[in-house]
Chain A
């Protein structure tokens, strides 16, 4: 185990009102694991990440890094992790791409020659080598983000914290960065803590997910479960409602929902071709839709399953 968060609580005061950002949060992170921290905006993800990054002091609780409290000894973790904060403000706009990397390398006490080699290697990997002498303020947001990620890797950290890595990016840049990050995270073998509300991304890269809502960890689970739910509920088929159809569906053990006197709704996965063919050939199909499951829907499903179990 590389990291253990124990009963972490953090509240902020805003205009006389106390806002509980993290409420008694506990979880563990294992070496080489990719932990996704999912939650809507304002759920408490950034507060949690910043406390682990020693940028915020918790009100109570502890954070152990390889068994040592980083609340009491923040110096223990310094230089052994990197932190990418949300938004585009991670690098110096008036430094060149290479100078930014060298600056962060020197701050991490990396010798000049090693820093130079490492920065060239990272610039090539990020596809920024051709523009290494350009000032960062001339970069697109996607390039800026890639450079920021490179500065996170220059010190070869044990653990990387990524806070909303896609914030501030347009759709195309997000897609590009998502593919890039996915291969990077998978290949590096480092421990990653990724806070985001992008379910699709977390699902693809993380081994395990921590669900945060209103400052509480409401669920901890594997991404395999999430993928299963997504597959199970891939298609929505609308059928003409009738007593016969309802009875027939019940006979075949197919779950359905009555939407109106006219319409029945059946959710089905592409994997269950048997269901699909039975439904399509035997019933009066009104419409078929591909369902995009959002954060809330998967969360609700996981939650109800956990409750039932």
Chain B
């Protein structure tokens, strides 16, 4: 697996080298977008707290690479025609895509730090309530890990479906915005209509964000946290099974590398 990650890091390095300007402009545009939303949130809502909104928005940054991660990898490889070439190497295909997602995640982490620093310098949010004690901070870190796992697991599931249904990829952006607006980062959860609350429960960031808010407010969070853990495990498992089934399905139909 390490060798496969090394391969993907090499490929990513050349990608960034070639499209450095596009990457930089991407960071600038995301910073502008998040600045606008965060500023609006500070004016509108106090309930979720500026610090949770701040962290929530930064975590949402990962949704882009997570939700469309596998879909984009498959689309790119199919477009270039290299999907079949990499599928016959010593690295199992699933380890190639997971390695590429890990590399993308590491880049996302870099974006998280850069954009987070810019936003912090711009707005100077009071983040102290997030760290009342090391125990709370650690708990929030654990929740963030499961939240990210949910995001990537969900993306893996969507990507696996895109192996069979090519148009699924087109809905990735829709999902990203649904996650942004209905996970409790932008609109407080209790202020959205009931049917949307039910719908929001199936989105990958909802339980994580809810748990983060409850922890920060010092309210009981176990139920929400368990849901977050369960959600992440289920989507990772379902994503994995869907991926394997989808690969077999398209290999049977002869549509593995169809673009």
Contacts and interface: CB of A to CB of B under 8 A. Distances in A.
Interface residues of A, number: 40
B82 A91 contact: yes
B88 interface: yes
Interface residues of B, number: 29
B197 interface: no
Contacts of A73: none
Interface in B205-259: 248, 251-254, 256-257
B85 A57 contact: no
A112 to B, nearest CB: 7
A108 interface: yes
Contacts of A90: 81-82, 85
Nearest to B86: A107
B90 A78 contact: yes
Nearest to A46: B254
Nearest to B5: A106
Contact of A112 (B4, B6, B86): B6
Interface stretch (B7-15, B128-136, B164-172, B180-188): B7-15
Contact of B18 (A47, A94, A102): A94
Chain B interface, DSSP helix/strand/loop, else mixed:
helix
A43 to B, nearest CB: 16
A191 interface: no
Contacts of A92: 11, 80, 82
A92 B90 CA distance: 18
A89 B81 contact: yes
Most buried by B among A87, A105, A107, A108: A107
A306 B256 CA distance: 39
Contacts of A155: 89-90
Given A83-B84, A89-B81, A106-B4, A95 B14 contact: yes
A82 B7 contact: no
A107 B4 contact: yes
A93 B77 CA distance: 12
A147 B90 CA distance: 19
B82 A89 contact: yes
A104 B89 CA distance: 8
A83 B85 contact: yes
Contacts of A82: 88
Given A89-B82, A103-B10, A55 B251 contact: yes
15 contacts: A50-B254, A53-B84, A53-B88, A55-B84, A85-B84, A85-B85, A88-B81, A90-B81, A90-B82, A91-B85, A94-B18, A106-B4, A109-B4, A109-B90, A135-B18
